[in-house]
Structure 1
Amino acid sequence: MTEAIFVINAGSSSIKFKLYRLAGRDVALLLGGAVDGIGTRPRLHATDEAGAVLVDRSFPPDEIARPSQAQHAISEWVAPHMADVELIGVGHRVVHGGPHYDHPERVTDEVLRTLESFIPLAPLHQLTNLDPIRVIRERRPDLPQVACFDTAFHRGHPEVADRFALPNALYDDGVRRYGFHGLSYEYVSGALRELAPKLARGRVVICHLGSGASACGLLDGRSLDSTMSFTALDGLPMGTRCGALDPGVVLHLIEQKGMSAAEVGRMLYHDSGLKGLSGLSSDMRELLASDQPAAALAVDYFALHVAQEVARLAVTLGGLDALVFTAGIGEHAPEIRARICARLGLLGVTLDAAANDASETWIDADGPGPHVLVIPTDEERMIALATLNLLRPAA
Structure 2
Amino acid sequence: MDAMPKWAEVILIPLISLILAFFLSGLVILAIGENPIRALQIMISGALGSTYGWGYTLYYATNFIFTGLAVAVAFQARLFNIGGEGQAALGGLGVALICLYIPFPHWTMALPAAILGAAIFGAFWAMIPGYLQARLGVHVVITTIMFNFIGASILNYLLVDILRPPTSMNPATARFPDATNLPSLHDVLSVVGIPFSRAAPANISFFIAILACIVIWVLIWHTRLGYQIRAFGQSESAAKYAGISPEKIIMVTMLISGGLAGMMAINNVMGEAERLVQNAVEGAGFIGIAVALMGRSHPIGVFLAAILFGFLYQGGAELSLETSIPSDLIVVIQALVILFTGALDDMVRAPLKSMFLMFRKPEATPKAPKPAE
TM-score bucket (shorter structure): under 0.3
Higher strand share: 1
- TM-score (normalizing by structure 2): 0.28
Greater relative CO, 1 or 2 (CA 8 Å, sep 6+): 2
- TM-score (normalizing by structure 1): 0.27
Return the index of the structure with the highest Cα Rg. 2
